[in-house]
Amino acid sequence: MKTLVIFYSLTGNTKRIAEGLAAKESYDIAEAVGTFRPGPFKALVLGSFAARGLKAWAIKPLDADISAYERLMVLAPIWAGFPVPFINSVIAGLPEGKTVSFKAVSASGKSSCKERVEAAIKAKGCTLESFEDIKA
């Protein structure tokens, strides 16, 4: 299946993992870049709150045509147990009918978001193929 790896990374961990996966499988890769870069206070206080509420923080247009891929591998840093709000913009922009493999990257290797991520992906008419917690 033609696969595109999409990731957001604030401090580099998810970028390193995404680039490793893409290189290993020769997948194309696109970085989701926020319309702003949160500093420590914004990330820890507002970001954690927004992540828990599944709020979407805006991203710049992706440097890839998602519609050209059948499968999307989405990698998200975990903030307060949930995907970073920028990744919620990626999910909100999913075209219908895509197969999504989701990887949650955190310090602990534990998240509490599988059900909510799956519901958000299904709401876009897409299928969650797999969900994996990765310890950075």
Ligand X SMILES: Cc1cc2nc3c(=O)[nH]c(=O)nc-3n(C[C@H](O)[C@H](O)[C@H](O)COP(=O)(O)O)c2cc1C
Binding site for ligand X (CB under 6 A): 9-15, 43-44, 47-48, 77-81, 105-108, 136
CB of 12 to ligand X, least distance (A): 5
Nearer CB in complex with ligand X: 14/88: 14
The closest of 9, 19, 30 to 83, measured between CA atoms, is: 9
CB of 75 to ligand X, least distance (A): 8
Nearer CB in complex with ligand X: 114/124: 114
CB of 93 to ligand X, least distance (A): 20
The closest of 42, 115, 131 to 79, measured between CA atoms, is: 42
- H or E segment at 134? strand 127-135
Cα–Cα dist 59/85, whole Å? 10
